Chain A
């Protein structure tokens, strides 16, 4: 099994100041699957990855990475893992090719073995012919892709990506998604963290929603949506001038949402009405002056917001 985590607890600090960042987490990755860890900032995603790699010691729990116990044999296990960290850590003093060659050296791969693979690795990252380009001349998306190529120098069984597409434009995100799908098709197991729901929905065979150090939901994207939320969503917004002095979508929702939907959440100027059958609600809304509506199937983001709440995380 590429990764097996059971009962992981990670505490920082001691005594009354101690913070529990991961609070009893179990995770099992199957060979060849893409697994996404979803969670707001501070949910414990990065800490979980650091523990899995043996870069932080678990307070409680056991971890096996590529079949080897962590932290006892973390170093040996990391030889079979590729990592794309959250922040760029390419060597600014080296060219693209040198970055790959020097990084392969950390795995004990001699230059004569890695040099012939450099063009292929760069091509995989969409960086054909950039062998001698300096890192400073690359865009953010190109740096991210080179970091992906760097994570593949040792032909890893497991690829771990911490927020691989944060800060990238849509073109760059789509290229990375396509490459990751190609890797899983070739049998590489992928573990990624993200807070982009569409990324998880498109890429992940299975996912877990993590908050305050616990897994709140786990399964395939469809399973998680089916298990945790009503299938239909009607978003209601605009200037409601229906009854008396009250106005706006919130005022409308206060009077009518309960009767017409299973559950309604207000966020800013919009009412999110969750329901099994949207027809009566839509019929009612058709006669409300000033209100506008968006009817759509429920998605992962709805589940995520339901489970982790709508307040800001900093």
Chain B
């Protein structure tokens, strides 16, 4: 029915009612805030310190700074991506499919559009909370000293929105949790390695560089790393614009797929 498809993919109809749903997720998170933060913090910090100090002995300087200072910005970017992605995939799928939380909310005067928008903003919020914790660790170790690092926080939030929106597409399509494995092995993991998190993209072959620089995580790294190093990023508008554009388009697609899945 082309008619129904057109309806499903109509533009999002957003309202502030999403806040009630966001608040629900926040209240659940608050109950388990400490383990949640530690969970989001431990892995990236261990990698950053391990690789930073270990490899740092072999690589004295990258792009004019110590390897661990270089790694700090990349770590903040990719851990934000991971936190937002996990929340949108696994937790989102639990609420949509397993616990039927969305179904219950839709019986109240809240539209599906508001629920999916709440998931988007919530996943970004959670990744931002984790990001702030990582930033605090980075600052505590002295890997960033510039007040510009604070400007990384809104960029972290935007990065969270972008990956939450992409993740919600997968959630809308997933028959079960196992499905998310494909997304991680085929998209997230390769992107982490190609986006200049662990080494400068200049090390990649030219042809790969072209593709790699278009990846959403590359744009996040291009913004976050200079800010942590106390520099104003080059091409700010381009990087912010790409992240925002991906967020809008991915959210629209995710919402259309979710409407098709649930409103029948």
Query: In the complex, how many angstroms separate the beta carbon of B217 from the nearest chain A beta carbon?
Result: 31
Number of contact residues on A: which range applies? 20 to 34
Q: Cβ of A53: which chain B residues have Cβ within 8 Å of it?
A: 107
Known: A87-B100, A105-B23. A78 touches B264 (CB 8 A): no
Residues of chain B with a CB closer than 8 A to A85's CB? 100, 103-104, 107
* A102-B110 in contact (CB<8A): no
B111 CB within 8 Å of chain A: yes
Q: Which residues of B contact A79 (CB under 8 A)?
A: 108-109
Whether the Cβ atoms of A91 and B99 lie closer than 8 Å is: yes
Whole-angstrom distance between the Cβ of B176 and the nearest chain A Cβ: 17
Is there a chain A Cβ closer than 8 Å to B236's Cβ?
Answer: no
- Which A residues touch B262, using CB under 8 A? 55
B115 to chain A, nearest CB (A): 10
> Are A14 and B1 touching (Cβ within 8 A)?
yes
Selecting from A33-41, A92-100, A220-228, the interface stretch reads A92-100
Contact of A106 among B20, B27, B31, B99 (CB under 8 A): B20
- From DSSP, what is the main secondary structure of chain A's interface residues? loop
A113 to B166, CA, bound (A): 38
* A154: B residues at CB distance < 8 A: 108
B106 interface contact, C-beta 8 A = yes
B105 within 8 A of A: yes
* Contact A102:B104 (CB < 8 A) given known A14-B1, A56-B264, A76-B109: no
Residue of B nearest to A102 (CB): B24
B238 within 8 A of A: no
Contact with A along B183-210 (1 / 0, CB 8 A): 0000000000000000000000000000
- Which residues from chain A contact B17 at a C-beta distance below 8 Å? 108
Give min CB distance, B31 to chain A, whole Å: 7
Cβ of B21 within 8 Å of any chain A Cβ, yes or no, is yes
Residues of B10-24 at the interface with A, using a CB-CB cut-off of 8 Å, are 17, 20-21, 23-24
Bound together, the chains give a CA A91 to CA B101 distance in angstroms of 7
B34 partner residues in chain A, CB cutoff 8 A? none
B95 CB → nearest A CB, Å: 9
- B234: CB under 8 A from chain A? no
Nearest B residue (CB) for A56: B264
Q: Which residues, 184 to 229 on A, are CB-close (under 8 Å) to B?
A: none
- Whether A107 pairs with B107 at a CB distance below 8 angstroms is no
For A55, the chain B residues whose CB sits under 8 A away are 106-107, 262-263
CB distance from A107 to the nearest CB of B (A): 6
Docked Cα-Cα span, A100 to B106, in Å, equals 15
| Chain B: CB-nearest residue to A59 | B1
Partner of B27, one of A88, A89, A98, A150: A98
Interface status of A4 (Cβ within 8 A of chain B): no
| Known contacts A57-B4, A87-B100: A75-B24 contact under CB 8 Å | no
Establish whether residues A93 and B108, one from each chain, have CB atoms under 8 Å apart when the complex forms: no
Q: Note all chain B residues with C-beta closer than 8 A to A78.
A: 107-109
Q: Which of A75, A92, A103, A105 is B99 in contact with, Cβ under 8 Å?
A: A92
Are B109 and A75 interface neighbours, CB within 8 A?
yes
Contact A94 B27 (CB under 8 A): yes
The complex places the Cα of A45 from the Cα of B3 at a distance, in Å, of 25
Query: Which residues of B, 143-173, contact A by the 8 Å Cβ criterion?
Result: none
Given A75-B109, A93-B31, A108 contacting B20 (CB threshold 8 A): yes
Asked whether B6 is an interface residue with its Cβ less than 8 Å from the other chain, the reply is no
Can you identify 24 A-B contacts, CB atoms within 8 angstroms?
Answer: A53-B107, A55-B106, A55-B107, A56-B263, A57-B4, A75-B110, A78-B109, A85-B104, A85-B107, A89-B104, A91-B24, A91-B28, A91-B101, A92-B99, A93-B28, A93-B31, A94-B28, A98-B27, A103-B104, A103-B108, A105-B23, A106-B20, A106-B21, A106-B108
- Other CB < 8 Å A-B pairs besides A87-B103, A106-B110, 19 of them? A12-B264, A53-B107, A57-B263, A75-B111, A78-B109, A85-B100, A89-B103, A90-B104, A91-B101, A92-B99, A93-B31, A94-B27, A98-B27, A102-B23, A102-B24, A106-B20, A107-B108, A107-B109, A108-B20
